[in-house]
Structure formats: C-alpha cells, structure tokens
Chains A and B, each alone.
Chain A
Amino acid sequence: MRELREVVLGRGDYIAGGARSLPFLDQDGARRRRPLVFGEVLPHPPSDPVLAGMFSGRAADPVEWSVMWKEIGADGVCLRTDGLAGGEAADLVRRISDRTGLPMVVDGDPAKDAGAGVDDSVLVLIDAEQGMHAAAGTVLSVSDAREAFPDRANRMLLVEASFPEREGFDLIGSIRTAALEGDEGCDAPIIADVSSAYPEGEDPRGASMVEAEAALAAMVCGADALIVRGPGAADMARVYGEELADL
C-alpha cells in the first residue's frame, strides 16, 4: 500500500499528510487521521463586524485572537502578515507561537523573515518570494525558519479553494489521486485555504454553513489541512473530519 509523505508541524505534536487511500475510505485502508484546522488571524481586527463578533472582542489583539482559536479547539493559527514590517511580523509570530504552542502557518512577504524568531516549532511558510511556486500557492514548511527554504521533503502544497468554484477542489482531488498512483511530485500534504469562502455580510449561521461546506468539500477531495476564517466552520470541520476519519 502506498503511503504519502507526512510533515511534522508545531513542536512535533502535529502531523499532516500520510494518506494511504483516497480520503476517508476505510474500505481502501484509509489512515484514520482527520485534517488539521488552522484558524485565520490578521494583524488588525476583521473588517466584518459579524466575524469580529464571533471572537467576542478578542480579535482586537492578534495574540488574544490566536489564544481564542486554541481555546475553541483549532489545531493551529494562520497568521497573515501582509502590511507588517519584517521586524513586527517576526515579533508577532514569536509571541503567538509562545502563547499558544500551536503550529502556525505564516502567510506574508517574506514569510521566511517573519518566521525567523521561532526556532522551536515547525512553521508553515507561505512566501510570495518563491516566484512561480508562491503564485501557484506552494507552501514550504521548515523546521528552522533561519535556514533557506528546504528541499521537497518538507514541502506542503497549498490550494486556494473558493467555494462554490470547483477548480480548487478538482485540483485537490487530482493531486491526491496522482500521488496515490505513484506521482512522487504530488505526494506532499495538501493544505486547502477555504477562508475566501467565508461570505462577508452574512449572519453568523449562514456564514459558518457556507465556509463549513467548503471545508467539507476540501476534506472529501483530499485536503490534509485547512485554513478557515470563522470559528463555526472550524468547529464543524473538526467534527466532520473526526466522523469521516472514524476517530
């Protein structure tokens, strides 16, 4: 049985990838592992008051926002650092990592510099400096952000999946299928960013349902990790993932 590559995240306590089958199919010997759920955090409060309200006012401070993600059961934090100077971003990444102890996805330009202050946790860096890779959404994870970006062994693949457009979801499925058929170039864990599915201006329930639907679709198509915007979707994604993985 072919087993796809794993990437160890955080302080070694989270693992993404390692699929043995198309998603969640026990009949094919699926690995019982649910996708990791990363909650999005911005350096500033969200512009959507409904979204801000879901975090009970704690989104005013990105560190408190991240702590709240931990309290509600997210597996990690995805910090968008665009707009921050390199030193500010690095300081914020370090403070969130120290306070939460969670694995982090750092999305920014350059993410490598933003992760430079953390040397005791595996970060996932989305870096626009990676040219074509970044434009297409390749994620690189490194065990020490002060090193150069690593070889393929630590790579994850980022796919932006904008529900209800199907392209991103098709791509996730195609990558997973190709990897299981032996394409070693595709055997990295897939991280699906479904945060753009969050519909601004909707009431909390409606917004959560739409984003949770995108998360569910990404999981069923083969995502090993998810980036979500709303806590409702994160909660539903975790519960659905646990059921599908039979945990």
Chain B
Amino acid sequence: MRPVFALTVSDAVTDDMLEERIEILAALAERFPSMGAVRIRDDAMDADLLREAAGRAYALGLEVVLESDIVEDLAAAYVPGSLFSSPASDQGGLIRTAAGCGAGVVIADRDPERLAGFASVADALGCPKVVVDPDVRSMKECHESTVRIGRIDALGGLPLAVRAWSGEYALAVASVGVMDGASMVVLDDLDMQACAVLDGLIRSGIRSPAMRRARHRTRDDKERRNETTVPSFYQS
C-alpha cells in the first residue's frame, strides 16, 4: 500500500482561519494524491474546538488523525475512521480510550520493545487500526529507528508513522521515513513546492535497501534473490 502524508490543522485558530486552512488542505489534497490524511491538533486544549475542527476535516474525505495531550478530548472529537494520537500521554490510557471509541490508535514510544507491547495490547482490545510511531527527533534517528522497527517481527507488519515539523528539514525527515517504510508521515506544514517533492517521492516507489531487506527477511532466499537483481554488465 502506498504511503500517505498528512498536514496539520490547529484548533487554536479563529473560525475564519480554520475555514481557510481547511480550504488550503482540500486544494493540496486534490493536487497531490499522496496527501491522504490530515492531523487535527488540540492546541487549544478544548474538546469543543477540537470536535469542530475534526468535523470540518472529516468532510474532506481524508483519513483523520486526532492529536491531543488530553485523551478525553480525543474521545469527544471522535469521527468515524479516525486515529487517536497522544505522544506526550500515557500510551496505555490512549489505547483504552481509542478502543472504547472504536478508533484506531497511533502509539508513540522511542523504545521498540515497549512499542511492541503496546501494539499487542491495542490489538487485544480491538482497536481497528494500530500504527506505531518511533517518536523521532532527527533525520538520523528516523533512519535508524524505522529500519530497526522493520526488523522486529512483532512490529514489522504494522503501519509505521513518522512525525516531522515544517520546512525543508522536515521534508528530508519525512522523505527518509517514506524510503524506510513509513506508511504515514505527519507534518506540521509544507508549502506547495515541498508537497510536490514529497508526493513525487511517494509515488515513485523509491525505497531504501534497508527497508526492502527488513521487509524481505521472512521470505525465502530464492524469492529474495530474484528481487535483488544487478545487471550483469555491472559485474564484469
């Protein structure tokens, strides 16, 4: 499945600004097929504002990621098919809240073993979608963490999310995430040019050899050899 990228809507804006932001995201999503999700962030820490923003974003027809430090706000703002995310909160509480609402969950933790444990809990509680987020702080960390997660049996099959910020460095982090197997990259913001670059990368299917190797680890050697072909003229 092709990765998607998400841009962010803050709920700490006036009604007009929210409307304008939603219109911008709608235009970007129409232009760039890889923009398949939108994140609504509870910057105002107000359940009513988060619910209002979530409702408008839901109308875009994109996957909605609701993010808040207050998990109760996520429950109040639930829209069908949404993913709950709360990187700064207790992930156990987040998972229970998401499961109670029938929402998917993005589990954030820098420790892959804890991520695996949380993922199995979310699965056992019936969360319809479980996404793991290694909570990276840099491009280097993104590369190392996403590859490490891809090599862990308990996590290798789960969708992986990478969060980044805005601007050219965030584009680079998101790009490394995509090449290393992230199924979703969530950014604060990107302008039109950066969206075009990221969309081009995602649609190209360019992936790192480390990601391919991790994904192929469980296949038999014969199949793997067949997929790693180097033209003979390079070998003479």
Interface positions of A (Cβ within 8 A of B): 22-27, 132-133, 136, 138, 157, 163-166, 169-171, 173-178, 183, 185-186, 205-206, 209-210, 212-213, 216-217, 220-222, 236, 240, 243-244, 246
- Given A164-B201, A166-B206, A217-B201, answer yes or no on A175-B234 (Cβ-Cβ < 8 Å): yes
Q: Are B201 and A176 in contact (CB under 8 A)?
A: no
Please tell me the size bucket of the interface on B.
35 or more
Chain B residues whose C-beta falls within 8 Å of the C-beta of A138 in the assembled complex: 233-234
A-contacting residues of B (Cβ < 8 Å)?
138-140, 143-144, 147-148, 168, 171-172, 175-176, 179-180, 193-194, 196-197, 200-201, 203-210, 212-213, 228-231, 233-236
Return A177 CB to nearest CB of chain B, in Å.
Answer: 5
The answer to whether B200 touches A244, judged by C-beta atoms less than 8 angstroms apart, is no
Question: How many Å lie between the Cα of A208 and that of B234 in the bound state?
Answer: 30
Q: Assess the B201–A183 pair: CB atoms within 8 A.
A: no
Q: How far is the CA of A209 from the CA of B170 in the complex (A)?
A: 12
A23 in contact with B206 (CB, 8 Å): no
* Closest chain B CB from A213 CB (angstroms): 5
Q: Given A173-B208, A205-B193, A213–B201 Cβ distance below 8 Å?
A: yes
A26 to B197, CA, bound (A): 28
Distance in angstroms from B4 CB to nearest chain A CB is 17
Q: Is the CB of B193 within 8 A of A206?
A: yes
Smallest CB gap from A136: residue in B:
B233
Q: Report A-chain residues with C-beta under 8 Å of the C-beta of B147.
A: 25, 27
Q: Specify which of A166, A170, A173, A220 is in contact with B143 (CB 8 Å cutoff).
A: A220
Shortest CB-to-CB span from B96 to chain A, Å, is 33
A-B residue pairs in contact (CB < 8 Å), sample of 27: A136-B233, A138-B234, A157-B234, A163-B201, A163-B204, A163-B206, A165-B204, A166-B204, A166-B206, A170-B206, A171-B231, A173-B209, A173-B212, A174-B228, A174-B230, A175-B234, A177-B213, A178-B228, A185-B230, A185-B236, A206-B196, A216-B172, A217-B201, A217-B206, A221-B206, A243-B138, A246-B140
